[in-house]
């Protein structure tokens, strides 16, 4: 019985090791800046370089992150294009994003992120530090709740090398068609990589962002104050007009 248990554990550890060499990556995720306008920072580390002997092969490796944003958060495509000129990641958007909509009127959208990659030949890894400016939408006023929560799931990360999915991966995962680059003119074969968080070893843990919302119980004081301020302003304008004439 003991020998059987040891054999099972050894088999499971081998599978885990093969999975890591096949296409498991480390992902770290955080957000910086307060308020409605924040930066989404994602760190990705892939140890696939140890599978290559030729540096030219390693240089041909690429990463692709597919981000799914719920209605409560969005990116500004024009801002992203400006960021690209200063070294930001290339981003492909295939949907129209209304930057003016409130959260309850907005729909979710998907983007394709093609990050800049750094190679560490000593450790046999390729890494990417990705910063994307994101914006939280205004939410409907609520009763009792001062903040609304926007849950952002981890991105799906894909990899490819040598212009294909790379036989060196020895993956049994079937290739997936996705855009080759941010131009979106053609599609390539990519392998979906298993992502884990370096600290928690959990890949599906969402990043939760909190956004302030208005209080419904404050509606009447705000309405009364607004009406009084408007009447006072109109009275002042009328007084000045009559004084001039």
Per-residue model confidence as pLDDT tens digits over 165-190: 554 455 656 788 999 989 888 888 88
Confirm if 96 and 88 have CB atoms less than 8 A apart: no
Give the percent of the chain with pLDDT over 70: 78
Residues 240 and 119 in one domain: no
Q: What's the rounded Cα separation, in Å, for the pair 191 and 174?
A: 7
pTM, to two decimals:
0.76
Is the pLDDT reported for residue 200 higher than 80? no
Tell me the mean pLDDT in the region 224-244.
89
Nearest in space to 74 (alpha carbons), one of 104, 106, 113: 106
Residues 162 and 224 in one domain: no
Q: Is residue 37 situated within a structural domain? A: yes
Q: Residue 174 belongs to what domain range?
A: 13-213
* Structure-block tokens of residue 99: 């930057």
Contact predicate 186/179, CB 8 Å: yes
pLDDT per residue over 57-83, tens digit each?
566 788 999 999 999 999 999 999 999
Report CA 3 to chain centroid distance, whole Å: 46
Q: State the average pLDDT for the chain.
A: 79
CA distance 140 to 183: 36
**Any domain includes 5:** no
Same domain assignment for residues 75 and 170 = yes
């Amino acid at each position: 019985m003991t020998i059987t248990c040891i054999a099972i554990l050894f088999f499971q550890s081998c599978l885990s090791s093969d999975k890591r060499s096949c296409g498991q990556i480390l992902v770290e995720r955080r957000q910086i800046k307060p308020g409605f306008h924040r930066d989404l920072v994602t760190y990705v580390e892939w140890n696939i370089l140890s599978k290559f002997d030729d540096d030219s092969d390693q240089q041909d490796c690429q990463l692709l992150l597919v981000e799914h944003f719920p209605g409560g958060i969005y990116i500004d495509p024009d801002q992203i294009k400006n960021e690209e000129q200063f070294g930001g990641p290339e981003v492909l958007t295939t949907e129209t994003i209304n930057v003016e909509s409130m959260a309850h009127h907005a729909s979710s959208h998907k983007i394709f992120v093609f990050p800049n990659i750094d190679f560490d030949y000593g450790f046999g890894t390729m890494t990417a530090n990705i910063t994307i400016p994101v914006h939280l939408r205004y939410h409907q006023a609520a009763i009792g709740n001062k903040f609304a929560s926007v849950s952002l799931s981890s991105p799906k990360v894909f990899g490819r090398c040598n212009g294909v999915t790379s036989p060196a991966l020895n993956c049994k995962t079937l290739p997936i068609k996705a855009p080759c680059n941010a131009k979106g003119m053609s599609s390539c074969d990519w392998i979906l990589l298993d992502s884990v968080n370096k600290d928690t070893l959990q890949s599906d843990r969402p990043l939760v962002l909190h956004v302030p919302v208005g209080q419904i119980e404050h509606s009447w004081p705000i309405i009364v104050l607004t009406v009084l301020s408007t009447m006072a302003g109109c009275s002042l304008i009328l007084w000045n007009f009559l004084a001039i004439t």
